[in-house]
Structures are given as structure tokens and as C-alpha cells.
Amino acid sequence: METIIVVIHVLMSVMETLWRVVPDGVTEIFFMMGLFVTGVVASFVNMLAGGGSMLVLGLMILFGVDPVVANATNRVGVLISTATGAAAYKSEKVTDIKQSLKLGLWTAPGGIAGAIFSVRISGDLYEKILAIVMILIVGSMFLPKRVQDNPQESGRRRWIYPAMILVGFYGGVVQVGVGILIYGVLRHLGNMSLMRINMHRVFVVLIYIIPSMGIFVWSGKINWIYAAILCVGNAIGSWITIKWTLKKGEKIIRIGLAVSVVLMSVKFILF
């Protein structure tokens, strides 16, 4: 593990050196091409499980984009990605608009508060705690589910909506990994199948990210050229992934979720 970490750090140092010596115009072209490809891949990861924003933020920051600008710009791509994903689900007639809207509206106030609070984000300790939470969530995904989408409300289900406010707050602050937290809430408090959770997750993120993104638009932190490139890549990745997961079923979502959580947790703990 230590050898792998050293190799990664060396490769990143070499890449940073290359960016400095290559002419700015050429660097910008490579960056925009890379941003498009990363947008496709990140959207694939986001639609499958969550955590794809790490790839976009990592690339942008590596190329010298201010972290706050990268965070704000990425949200435009996420907006288009979730809108495309929602359209894909609707085209397949896999929707529960009433429930998704209810979940999304409960998440939105937290998203707005989180976006306002984002300038005060703490950092290392919070990320390590989050990594532990995510590992516990993905571990529980492999446990057998007690009841299959029971429509009756239980005492546990009434906590879904307060929990979604907290999820929205986290998403407003960081955005990275919010889909995984939605999985945790809807799986354990809502007792839903992973396929149903994935559908709700796309709609919920779409609903809450619109008002929270308004904070970043108002602050002038979005690079709209980079955002436009991300939007194209994200839209392509979302549409293909949703169609694919609907054919493959829960198994591919469970595997994607596990891989995503492990990679995010390693990143948070070691870097």
C-alpha cells in the first residue's frame, strides 16, 4: 500500500511539472478534452453509485482551478447529469414522481443552508469520519433486506425526511458522495430496493441542487466555459448509464456502490 501511495504521488508530481512547461494554450486544450472525458466517466460513476465528482474536482484542481470554483462549476454538470438521468428513467416509465418530489423538497432546505455554509468547510477530520460512515453504509448494502418495498409507514420511516435535510446540507457543502448518503438513508429508513433508491436519488439530487446552485451562481464562482464542457460529457454518461443499469438490475448497482465507497474512503483517509 505504501508503495502504491508513493507511486501515485510521484505520478502527480510529474504531471504537475508537465503542466508548467507545456505552453498555456496547449495545456488548456488538453484540459478541456480531459474535462469532457472525465465528465462522461464521472457521470457514469454518479448514476451507478455516487462519488464521480471526485474525478472532476481532482482534474480541475490539478490544472490549477481554484477549489471553490471547481466545486461550484461541477454542480452545473451534476444538474445536467441528473436532469438527463431523470429523463432516461421517465422514458423507461420507471418513476415515482410524488415520492421523489417529497424527498427532494425535504432535502432542498438543507442544500441551501449547506451551500451558504460551504465557505467554512472543515476538512481532514470531517472527511475521515465520513469515510467510516460510508464504509458502514456499503457493508450494510450486502445484508439481506427484511421487507421488499413495504408501502406501509413504520416508526423508522418517519425519520427519512429529517435525515434528508441533513443529507441536503452535506450535499450543499461538499456534493461529493451525497448519492451514497442517500443510499444509506433510503435503504435503512425506507427499506427500499437499490433499484428504487437509485431512481429516487437521481430525482432528489436534481431537485435540491437547483436552489443550492443558485448560491454559487450569485457568488460568481462558476466558470461557465468549463461548465458547458462538463454538461455535454455528463449528459452522455448519464443517459447511457441509466439505460444500462435498468437492464442489469440491482447487482451492478451494488458492485458499483461498493467500489465507489472504497475508493472514496481511501482518498479521504490517505490523501
**Mean pLDDT value across residues 109-121:** 79
User: What integer pLDDT is reported at residue 173 of this predicted model?
Assistant: 79
What are 35's three cell numbers? 474535462
For residue 144, what pLDDT is reported? 61
Domain hosting 219: range is: 31-270
Of the pLDDT bands very low, low, confident and very high (cuts 50, 70, 90), residue 265 is low
What average pLDDT score do residues 74-91 get? 91
Asked, for residue 59, whether it belongs to a domain, the answer is yes
Mean of pLDDT values over 130-144: 60
pLDDT at 221 > cutoff 60: yes
Name the percent of the chain lying above pLDDT 70.
67
> Does residue 252 lie in a domain region?
yes
Domain contains 258:
yes
Rounded to an integer, what distance in angstroms lies between the CA atom of residue 244 and that of residue 229? Answer: 23
For the full predicted model, state whether its pTM sits above 0.75.
Answer: no
Identify the pLDDT of residue 106.
93
Looking at the domain assignment, is residue 128 inside a domain? yes
Q: Is 87 a residue whose pLDDT tops 60? A: yes
Higher pLDDT, 89 or 127: 89
Q: What's the pLDDT score for residue 5?
A: 47
The answer to whether residue 7 sits within a structural domain is no
Q: Is residue 21 situated within a structural domain?
A: no
Residue 8 domain flag? no
Number of domains in the chain: 1
Share of the chain above pLDDT 90, in %: 22
Q: What is the pLDDT of residue 224?
A: 94
Residue 168 near residue 109 (C-beta atoms within 8 A): yes
Report whether pLDDT(271) > 70: no
Amino acid 143: pLDDT: 61
**Is 95 a domain residue?**
yes
pLDDT per residue over 144-196, tens digit each?
Answer: 655 444 544 455 777 899 999 999 988 887 777 788 889 888 988 888 888 88
